[in-house]
Structure 1
Amino acid sequence: MSTVKYILFDAANTLIHKPSLWHNYSNVLKKEGYNFPIQELKNKHKILSEFIKFPDVTSQEFYSEFNKELLRALGIVETPELLDHIFNACKYLPWEVFDDVMQLTNFKNFDLGVLSNFNASLRCLLKEKLPEINFKHIIISEEEGVSKPNIEFFERAVQKIGLKPNEILYIGDSLKLDIIPALQLGFKVKLIDRDGTYLMSKYRIETLEHCIQNNTCE
């Protein structure tokens, strides 16, 4: 069995997230008379994200279509006004780092990298939010012209890293975008699932501390 030599991470909702999104979204719905637990919003959003691919650069048009489907999944008939209220409440929210990500500085045995469907601003964002962590490679879909779940995106990562796929561990939050194509290429994988959406997945970890505490991700 090959030993992991390199850990490759997804970015959005694996390393970074927008924590104020759920509070803002919930408040808009409450004003319309809908009181949903934030956990339900997160779970419905996660499942819907497995079917609707986010573009590298999002727009109001994209979010209106996405939120229309999310509202319907919650049993709400959308209106143009409601869609506008949600967009205005949730646009331009700051990215923050998950608490457990700060402990990646404790990894001693692995090189670290990022493979993400994102725009070119990701490098500056990671440098700002995680200045202590040295990512050897940051591979971004907008720059490569190919994105997950296209297996070519993962193949390019293998070429840049210079290791065999089974010497690389890929950690992401999406079955469709991260886990399935990484498995197809031969990566080792972990599904980061902090909100308990995929409780029965054999690849699931609840926190990055699962790896960090033992300095191993086998």
Structure 2
Amino acid sequence: MKKKVIFFDAGETLVYRNPSLLEISYRFLKREGYKISKNILSDILNNCAIKMKPLVESAKIADSKKWAIYIEMVFKKLKIKNKIVMNNLREHLKQGTSFRPFPGIKKLLFGLKRKGFKLGVISNASNSLYDILKRTGLSSFFDVIIVSEEVGCEKPDVRIFKKALNFLKIKPYEAVFIGDNFIADIIGAKKAGITPVWLQRKSKNNEFSYSGNAGKEVYKIRKVTDIIKLIKSEEWN
């Protein structure tokens, strides 16, 4: 069946943090007067992410709450009790000023638009994503941008996918969704009847993207630009 629309996740699919979460947190805490070894901070960030895994994979917690719990866990491990500093770091991260587009993304989106595809973003994110996509020069490529904070539901809830489908007036089988998170993106898209493409990028930046058993029926790619190969395959035409 010929595809008409390609939806993308945002974080770690279209954009990534540069500097990383580790570097941002290290610099922020240093400015606040906390002298912490970067190696120790790195270990704490990674260990807390691992402890968050069951909670995240249950898909029963909102993205905003997930980050609040994560940062609180990190500060507890650091033995920093100043909640003002903790909340300021969380707000700083929420603004997403360090996000950058992955190499080749703009060229890919431009090429997909020229091929006649409609493009969209479906993301578990705060409304600051609109500013992030605008600042990175990506927003103009998309026909629809659905942000969980605005619509009141998150992936893998099928409602957030249906909002995007309804906006573009297309059927689920006419759409593809590309994302890196197995539960939110792959399971969510499948439940909504959308063809999922699992981005298995080797990245150190994604704290909450965990593996899963997708099955042979799920397309897998190593980088977003690999989507071109799938488009050219007979299965998509």
Matched, 1:22 2:32: no
- Which structure has greater helix proportion? 2
> Which residue number corresponds to residue 207 of structure 1?
223
- d(CA) in 2 for partners of 1:144 and 1:88? 25
The 1-side partners of 2:105 and 2:52 are apart by: 20
Cα-to-partner distance string for 1:113-139 (whole Å, 9 max, x where unaligned) = 111222333333323312585211112
The AA in structure 2 aligned to 1:14 is: T
Among 98, 105, 111, the residue aligned to 1:106:
111
Inter-CA distance 45–216: structure 2 relative to 1 (3 Å threshold): farther
Q: Residues 63 and 214 (structure 1 numbering): CA distance in 2 closer, same or farther, change over 3 Å? A: closer
Query: 2:63 is matched with which residue: 54, 57, 64?
Result: 54
Match of 1:4 in 2: 3
Query: Structure 2 stretches of 5 or more lacking a match?
Result: 30-34, 204-209
After superposition, the C-alpha distances for 1:63-113 in whole angstroms (9 at most, x for unaligned) are 452145579xxxx95523599888766734522111132222121331111
TM-aligned CA distance change 1:47 to 1:82, over 3 Å: farther
Q: Which amino acid aligns with 1:54?
A: D
CA contact 2:179–2:186 (8 Å) conserved in 1: yes
For residues 47 and 220 of structure 2, the distance between their equivalents in structure 1, rounded to whole angstroms, comes to 20
Matched residues, number = 208
Percent of aligned pairs with the same amino acid: 24
Unpaired segments ≥5 residues, structure 1: none
* Higher deviation after alignment, 40-49 or 180-189: 40-49
Q: Distance in 1 between matches of 2:132 and 2:156?
A: 23
- Residue of 102, 113, 124 corresponding to 1:117: 124
Q: Give 1:79's aligned residue.
A: 79
Contact 2:9 2:122 in 1 (8 A): yes
Shift of 1:148: 1.9
- Taking the aligned partners of 1:180 and 1:12, their CA distance within structure 2 comes to 17
Q: 1:155 to 1:78 in 2, by over 3 A?
A: same
Look up the match of 2:32.
none
Q: Secondary structure of 1:186's match? A: coil
Q: TM-score, normalised by structure 2?
A: 0.68
Output one character per residue of 1:177-217: Cα deviation in whole Å (capped at 9) or x when no partner. Answer: 11112101211011122126649755331101111367548
SS at match of 1:34: helix
Q: Which one of the candidate residues 31, 41, 44 is aligned to 2:37?
A: 31
CA contact under 8 A between 1:168 and 1:188: conserved in structure 2? Answer: yes
